Amino acid sequence: MLDSGLVKKTEEFLKRKFDAAIYLNEHPYDKAYRIEHSYRVANIGLEIAKKEGFDETETVIACLLHDVSYCEEFGDDGWKNHGRRSAVIARPFLMELGIPEERVNDICYGIAIHVDDEADFAGERTPFALTVGDADNIDRFDAYRIYESLTSDRFLEKSLEEKTEYTKMRLAKLKKLADMPMGTATAEKLWRARIAFYIEFYEKLAVQIRSSKSVADRQIMS
């Protein structure tokens, strides 16, 4: 059962850390995205926890704090290490919440490995720990991210030929990701549904792009 009091304290802690971040305050879009992403990951984590029988509060807290290190300035390897740094920042706060030390370590281990599957302290790759990274990856393939990716990649500015190559590239990558292993059966189901949604979207986009070129050529291609 979810302890709303502990979750609320975690939300407040995360917001305080982001509110004190120089970079995030200078880039309000990034700040808004990071907090919104953290909430989405936490909600995905909660869904997994409910179906897998994990501690719901611990799962949500781990997911909320997985990117807390974005409150810091990233160096050359900052992104790669941000999971490990998030674990460092989260640990004393988790102890203050009164969470048992062994559970704090499990939560921090899940946070630490969510980027590159490596931690700088001992821990076990349990289904619970893997859920943090799974929820993070699942959120990377939702409807909002389609819009964000197309905008970031300046899709509308591309020529029809460039759009054709873009959709072909996206589809090739998506099909390779379809069978990526997850830590739980619930995460695998969510992941495959998201990837299938993405593939369907880009397949439909590819058809529209072909329809934008010619009638005769399209009939030949089909």
* Contacting residues for 92 by C-beta, under 8 A, at least 6 apart: none
Q: Does residue 64 contact residue 38 with C-beta atoms inside 8 Å?
A: yes
CA torsion sign for 184, 104, 44, 173 is negative
Instruction: Give the model's pLDDT for residue 79.
Output: 73
Q: What is residue 97's DSSP assignment? A: T
Collapsed DSSP state (helix, strand, coil) of residue 72: coil
Instruction: Give the model's pLDDT for residue 80.
Output: 86
> How many CB atoms neighbour CB 114 within 10 A?
28
Q: How far apart are CA 164 and CA 149, in angstroms?
A: 16
* Contacting residues for 213 by C-beta, under 8 A, at least 6 apart: 160
Q: How far apart are CA 118 and CA 114, in angstroms?
A: 8
Mean pLDDT per 10-residue segment, the chain (222 residues): 95 97 93 96 98 98 97 78 96 97 97 95 96 97 92 95 96 94 97 96 95 66 54
Q: Does residue 111 contact residue 85 with C-beta atoms inside 8 Å?
A: no
CA torsion sign for 107, 110, 114, 116 is positive
